[in-house]
Structure 1
Amino acid sequence: MTTNTPDASAPAAPRGLAGRTLLMSGGSRGIGLAIAKRAAADGANVVLLAKTGEPHPKLAGTVFEAAEEIEASGGRALPVVGDVRRDDDVARAVAQALATFGGIDTVVNNASAIDLSPTDTIDMKRYDLMQDVNARGAFLLSKLALPALREAARAGSAAHILTLSPPLNLDPRWAGAHLAYTMAKYAMSLVTLGLAEELRGDGIAANSLWPRTLIDTAAIRNLPGGAAMAHASRGPEIVADAAHAILTSDPRTTTGHFFTDEEALRRVGVTDFSRYSRGASEDGLERDIFL
């Protein structure tokens, strides 16, 4: 298991996110929206680049509705309808963030596509979708935001890139279970690994965050057996609080890590996670994949 686990005793040095600008891919619902609303509670600006300009037939929430929730939480929001797979859309989101808020302090690579089919049955269009959204999308959004992040770091802001991706666990179990998805998610984690080293001298942090347990989202509830899975899950608030802990840390000392939500929260003194449970006891929670 290749994972850069942080020292649990390391100080988190929280400073809050007031006035800082986050550029996030996805975020119209689920974990991404929870992270955005937690940042907004501090008074952050949030730019959402998402495809959901119109309601999804099965999943509630558009990027415009998400923006309303973010502003109701105390922040400012800029919804940008676009596709993280398209260079022009990502460049437009970066340009609009700069024009509206004057800079970018944080990039959150949240958008992700999933298909757990084995190799012989996965459709290659789904394979390409996962590579384009997960691997290429995380790389592209980070790449195009780098000039703004460097400017933020030079100005003394805590500049961060946070990617929702798992530890690089090379146990063959995970590649064997769903090779196409594993390749796409591990590529996101390689973005963290590489950028943390590449940007170390710039004072820009790059970290990954992954939930230790299943997280209750509309996507989970829409799966067969979704109600039981949701009961054995935690709420997305645990990931949002963990992201907040990472994004308020010192980017010069907190970089290159693959945090679970529990690890990130323990760094800021949180040891009781029971309030995040959707009903199951701690022993009854379903562990997430890749761990």
Structure 2
Amino acid sequence: MATVEQAAGRVAIVTGGSGGIGSAVARRLAADGMSVVVHYAASAGRAEEVVKAITEAGGTARALPGDIADPTEAARLFAAAEEAFGGVDVVVNTAGIMVLAPLAEMELEAFDRMHRVNVRGTFVVSQLAARTLRPGGALINVSTSMTRLQQPAYGGYAATKGAVEAMTLILAREMRGRDVTVNAVAPGPTATPLYLEGKSEELIQRTAAAAPLERLGTPDDIAETVAFLAGPGRWVNGQVLYANGGIA
């Protein structure tokens, strides 16, 4: 992890910062000394709770709204971060949605919604990050270990995250000479509301037992991985880092 001295003066944007993983990432980067923009789409109350937790712990943060798939709104988010804090050094793209259904039964509208947020949103934010990040910066996108686990009902969701991985790996090569790293984190099953919703206790326990560490991941587990890539992990670039406790 970065020391507070190393992170002082650095600025991070965390998209989906009101969500389970996003809020943990925002708090973790703030604990390292970064000023954090906590982005949200609709959950203003939860985003303000994250900001309050950060400021009460002595950190600096502000909540900002926006549709990350809308280039104008996303650009406004980056501009507001620059105006408030002077620049952007780290972008963590945790915003995403997940709809589960067998491929033969998935509504095309549901797939389109996932594609808009997970693929188009990641593209728009990555494009802005590529144009904006200062030397020494880092872009961290979020994929999923379901691209490896290949579980039924995850086909549509995993397809959107496969696109995220492809964009991430190619952008890392396109950033040659900029001193900016570009990586993706691929969480395994993680105990967030997004993952737990609609699952039986029996299924949750069975999934947890599948990992050699015999538990689900936590948002803090993922935040630690992100903090490494955002701070000291400068020699890790153009990679998909699987944070899943060995489940895949």
Classify the TM-score, shorter chain.
0.7 to 0.9
Normalised TM-score (structure 1): 0.74
Q: Please state whether the residue corresponding to 1:121 is helix, strand or coil.
A: coil
Report the counterpart of residue 212 of structure 2 in structure 1. Answer: none
Cα distance between partner residues in 2 of 1:243 and 1:217: 16
Deviations 1:62-90 (A, max 9, x none): 22222212223332112111111222210
* 1:33 alignment partner, one of 19, 23, 26: 23
Deviations 1:144-182 (A, max 9, x none): 232321xx20xxxx210001114795x7x7397533212
Cα distance between partner residues in 2 of 1:75 and 1:124: 43
* 1:186 alignment partner, one of 162, 167, 191: 162
Report the counterpart of residue 236 of structure 1 in structure 2. Answer: 219
Q: How does 1:159-178 map to 2 (within 5 A)?
A: 159-166=137-144, 174=150, 178=154
Normalised TM-score (structure 2): 0.85
**C-alpha spacing 1:221/1:119, structure 2 compared with 1 (3 Å):** closer
**C-alpha spacing 1:107/1:174, structure 2 compared with 1 (3 Å):** same
- How much has 1:249 moved relative to structure 2? 2.5
- How much has 1:27 moved relative to structure 2? 1.3
Q: Please state whether the residue corresponding to 1:241 is helix, strand or coil.
A: helix
Q: Please state whether the residue corresponding to 1:191 is helix, strand or coil.
A: helix
Q: How does 1:48-67 map to 2 (within 5 A)?
A: 48-54=38-44, 62-67=46-51
Q: Please state whether the residue corresponding to 1:134 is helix, strand or coil.
A: helix
Q: How does 1:73-84 map to 2 (within 5 A)?
A: 73-84=57-68
Cα distance between partner residues in 1 of 2:146 and 2:190: 20
In structure 1, give the amino acid aligned to 2:184.
Answer: S
Cα distance between partner residues in 1 of 2:225 and 2:89: 18
Deviations 1:197-252 (A, max 9, x none): 100221111011122x421122334323258627741321111111111111353x
Contact 1:175–1:183 (8 Å) recurs in 2: no
Q: How does 1:128-147 map to 2 (within 5 A)?
A: 128-147=112-131
**C-alpha spacing 1:214/1:168, structure 2 compared with 1 (3 Å):** closer
Contact 2:2–2:227 (8 Å) recurs in 1: no
After superposing the two structures, state which structure 1 stretch, 217-226 or 178-187, moved more. Answer: 217-226
- How much has 1:118 moved relative to structure 2? 1.8
Contact 2:24–2:220 (8 Å) recurs in 1: yes
* 2:231 alignment partner, one of 224, 241, 248: 248
- How much has 1:195 moved relative to structure 2? 0.8
Q: Which runs of 5+ in 1 are unaligned?
A: 1-11, 56-61, 263-284
Is 1:208 the counterpart of 2:184? The answer is yes
- How much has 1:137 moved relative to structure 2? 0.7
Q: Please state whether the residue corresponding to 2:37 is helix, strand or coil.
A: strand
Cα distance between partner residues in 2 of 1:68 and 1:86: 27
In structure 2, give the amino acid aligned to 1:188.
Answer: V
Q: Which runs of 5+ in 2 are unaligned?
A: 209-214
Q: Please state whether the residue corresponding to 2:119 is helix, strand or coil.
A: helix
Is 1:109 the counterpart of 2:93? The answer is yes
Report the counterpart of residue 126 of structure 1 in structure 2. Answer: 110
In structure 2, give the amino acid aligned to 1:241.
Answer: E
Report the counterpart of residue 241 of structure 2 in structure 1. Answer: 259
In structure 1, give the amino acid aligned to 2:37.
Answer: V
Report the counterpart of residue 95 of structure 1 in structure 2. Answer: 79
Cα distance between partner residues in 2 of 1:26 and 1:69: 16
Q: Please state whether the residue corresponding to 2:238 is helix, strand or coil.
A: coil
